[in-house]
Structure formats: C-alpha cells, structure tokens
Amino acid sequence: MLRPLFLLLTLLMAWPSLAQSLYGRKKKDIIPLDGQAKRIGWFIGPGLTYTLPPFAESEREQFRSGDTLYRATYDASGRLGLYLEGGLTWFTRDPVIVDYFDAGFAYKNLRGSEAFEGVFQRGDSVATLTGEGDFAERLITFNINANKFIPTWPYQFVQLSLGANVDYRLGQDLAHTGDPLLNAHAFPPDLWAQAHFKVGYGFKLTGHLILIPAIESPIFSFNPADIDFGRMQWFSSTYRPLIFSVRFLFLRARNGFDCPPPSSKRAISSSTSRTAITLSAGTDCCASRARWWSRDHGHCRPSHRHQGGTVRCGCWPARCRGRRRAGRCGRCCS
C-alpha cells in the first residue's frame, strides 16, 4: 500500500513542470482569485473511518521460558466509524506546488475487533486458549494540510494532500476475553500525532461550492513510535486507520471585484447601465461593486474590434444574488 502513496507524492512534486500548460488553462475555473473569490474560505466534511487490519492472520510466539511456551494466532477485523470535520481554507495566489492550505478540527470514531486462538504448553501438558474482543475510540482531531490540484476536465480535478494530525482521546471502550499479559496487549496513548496523505477527486458544482470525495491514510507516527508507516496497535494486532470523507468546500465572494489596473491596453469607462472596457480578447473584468454569481459572471456583447488585437466590449449586467442590478456584475467579451 505504501508504494502507491510514494508514487502519488512523486507525481505531486513533478506535475507543475510536466503539465504547466494544462494547469494554467484550467486552474481559474476551480479557484478564481483574480478579483472574484476571497482567499479565505471554509469547509465541512462528513465521512466514515475504517481500521484496516493485516491482510492475513498473524501467528506469533508470545512467551517462552524453559519448558513453558505460548504461541497464538490473531485474526483482526476492521469496523466502520463516524467522522465529521470542519475548518478554514487559505488559497495561494500564485501556486507552484500548493493550491491551498486548510486547518480544522474533526470528530473521529475508530472501531475494530480481534479473535485469537493460542496454545499454552508446559512440558508435556498442552492447553488451547481462545478469545475475542473489540475496541472503540472517540477522538477529537486537529489537522493541517497542504493541497494540490491536478486538473482533469473542466471543473474537475484530482486533489493530493500532505498533512499532519494530532488526536486526543475523549473516550475508549475495550472488551476482550483473552489474558492481556500472555497476549501482549498494547494501545495508543491518550494523545498521538501522525503525518498523513490524502487523495481525492473534486467537482466544482457551483461558483461557490466544490465537492471533494477523498481517502486519507497515515504514513508515519510521531507518537507513539511508528509501526509499519502509520499502523497502530490495539490488543495484539495492528491496524491502519483510514478516513473516507466528502468535503464541501465553500468559496466566499468578494464584496467587489479587484479590477486590473489601467494601462496602455486598458481603458475603463462606466455608465449606469453598462461598463465599456477595452482589453485583450478573453480577459475577465468587472464593474464597480460587482458580485460573483456563478461560473458565468455576465452576458457580454462585443461592439467592434480595434487594431492591435483588442476588443471593445460591452459588459452588460448579470444576475446578482437572484436580482438584476445595472452596473453591479459583468464580464468582458472574448
């Protein structure tokens, strides 16, 4: 499982140089920061957790002293738990590696079970021991992430995230019929810290809302000591806590666009009914106090073409929050 994670990390680092043209063509469709969306947004994400057990039963010799021996086979099983996250996002203006950062809190419920069959031998006497148990953890989590977009189709993208989480135990339920000393039971501490990796696929649903289903896995544990790149022990077995979440990422519209400054190729004049702007073809512009409505920020009607590759556009009013307001919303013609 770790090899695909490292391949994705390599792709994350190499993508800007491999697909710069594709990225530049589609990035504005996802997070339009050039005067349309604020740099700070927010998110909420429900989901499920799953404690991934080993793929095969584990047989170990737990105890040996003289003619006394104890050997057991452990069969671990994962279970689903609840997950809910929320927090703030900060979008970078000129992304090279990172498109946005996020930080937030989450409630995390981890659950799993274990069954075992052991053989206790002393001299010529042999006894068979069996048992089972289950656990449930209730945690509050603080996490931070650096996120990268890889555009695929218009308004769609792959998201790669690298981050860290600190978990604090709110409560714990343990039940096991086996002997904890013979079976060398161990559990995570009340406070643990890990690095994690996340991959998701996003859809821009409206001008204000992005939907990102994702899966997250720990890749290294700082506390407790790391076991197999992020696995953690409950009872006698190790599990990898996975998180399946659906993030609703909300963009915040500006109260007014940040219009590009006038130059030799830009001349801006306004009236009560429309804004006439001379720009290079395809350039987005805004009227005063414009409000962001959706993917289409106005209805444009070209008037005539000037020499030098510029187009004189009539930026006509568009809908602002469901109403028409002359001079409040607009977009330049292509």
Are 243 and 49 within 8 A, CB to CB? yes
Task: Note if the bond before 224 is cis, omega within 30 degrees.
Answer: yes
Q: What is the reported pLDDT for 276?
A: 37
> pLDDT means per 10 residues in the chain (334 residues)?
54 48 51 76 98 94 91 97 98 86 98 96 93 97 97 94 98 95 95 98 94 98 96 97 98 63 40 37 37 36 38 38 38 36
The whole-number pLDDT of residue 95 equals 77
Instruction: Give the C-alpha separation, 191 to 169, whole Å.
Output: 6
**Tokens, residue 52:** 């991934």
Strand partners of residue 151: 157
Tens-place pLDDT, residues 233-282? 999 999 999 999 999 999 988 765 444 444 334 433 333 333 333 333 33
pTM (whole model) above 0.75: no
Residue reference for tokens 């790149």: 229
Both tokens of residue 110?
Answer: 């981890």
Q: How many CB atoms lie within 10 A of CB 249?
A: 22
Q: Which are the contacts of 42, defined by CB distance < 8 A and separation ≥ 6? A: 86, 87, 88, 89, 250, 252
pLDDT at position 193, please?
98
pLDDT of amino acid 180: 94
